[in-house]
Amino acid sequence: MKRKLLMILILVSAALGTTSGIAGAAHRPIQIALVNPVQIFPESDNITGIRIDLIYGKNASLTGLDLGLANHLTGNSMGVQWGAVNLDDAGFTGWQDGWVNITKGKFQGLQMGLVNSTQEGVGLDWGFINYSQDFNGLMIGFVNYAARLKGIQIGLVNIIRQGGFLPVFPIVNWSF
């Protein structure tokens, strides 16, 4: 009986993840959060798999699927984020789909939402308001703003602070 119990404990520990060599953070295959800190694993852990944030969840990084009302990541992450609010303090690679998507670092991929914001973006921003300091790709929205752009903006109001066909131009604006 003790041997079976020990084997079950080992298997459960392996399923919940093991610690990594990076600053002692653990890699976990799943995270479920009601509102941080009421979540299965602490916010310092990395999630490699699926994370479900019922109201608000926060973790170091994610590789996989992120579902929830408010999703918050503090490190570089990749995968798919679906939520009302997606907030990434570092970089994100993949697809963000929500009412508000904010990536404070480099975003690579597709952002879809009412408001999309990134420090540095590569790919496609599709939303009501798209904002980026440095963007390479296509912005489609009602209002598109880029401090620097290599690409095309399509929308009612298109603003490119440096370069561009014109600093502000309706329907289409570009800079290469």
pLDDT over 60 (residue 2): no
Distance CA 98, CA 116 (A): 9
90, 121, 140 - which closes a domain: 90
Do both 2 and 84 map to the same domain? yes
Do both 8 and 58 map to the same domain? yes
Q: Number of structural domains, the chain?
A: 2
Do both 4 and 43 map to the same domain? yes
Helix residue ranges per DSSP H, the chain: 2-16
The reply to whether 100 falls in a domain is no
Domain that holds residue 171: 110-176
Provide the token pair at 93. Answer: 């690679």
The reply to whether 159 falls in a domain is yes
The reply to whether 102 falls in a domain is no
The strand pairing partners of 131, in sequence order, are: 117, 145
Which pLDDT score is estimated for 9? 36
Q: Which of 122, 91, 116, 82 is nearest to 102 (CA)?
A: 116
Do both 48 and 123 map to the same domain? no
What is the tens place of the pLDDT at every residue in 93-147? 999 999 999 999 999 999 999 999 999 999 999 999 999 999 999 999 999 999 9
The reply to whether 1 falls in a domain is yes
Report the predicted TM-score, pTM, of the whole model to 2 decimal places.
Answer: 0.85
89 confidence band (pLDDT: 50, 70, 90): very high
The reply to whether 124 falls in a domain is yes
Do both 77 and 47 map to the same domain? yes
What is the tens place of the pLDDT at every residue in 22-63? 455 799 999 999 999 999 999 999 999 999 999 999 999 999
pLDDT over 90 (residue 4): no
Do both 67 and 4 map to the same domain? yes
Question: In this structure, are residues 142 and 129 in contact, taking their beta carbons and an 8 Å threshold?
Answer: yes
Question: In this structure, are residues 42 and 56 in contact, taking their beta carbons and an 8 Å threshold?
Answer: no
Torsion of CA 21, 44, 96, 101, to 10 degrees: -140
The reply to whether 127 falls in a domain is yes
Do both 124 and 68 map to the same domain? no
Do both 123 and 176 map to the same domain? yes
Question: In this structure, are residues 66 and 85 in contact, taking their beta carbons and an 8 Å threshold?
Answer: no
pLDDT over 60 (residue 12): no
The reply to whether 105 falls in a domain is no
Do both 67 and 116 map to the same domain? no
**Sign of CA pseudo-dihedral 168, 169, 173, 175:** negative
**Sign of CA pseudo-dihedral 20, 74, 30, 3:** positive
Distance CA 67, CA 54 (A): 8
Which pLDDT score is estimated for 3? 52
Q: Are strands 26-35 and 38-39 parallel, antiparallel or unpaired?
A: antiparallel
Give the DSSP H or E segment for 5.
helix 2-16
The strand pairing partners of 132, in sequence order, are: 118, 146
**For residue 37, is the peptide bond before it cis, meaning its omega torsion is within 30 degrees of 0?**
yes
Do both 70 and 146 map to the same domain? no
Do both 85 and 118 map to the same domain? no
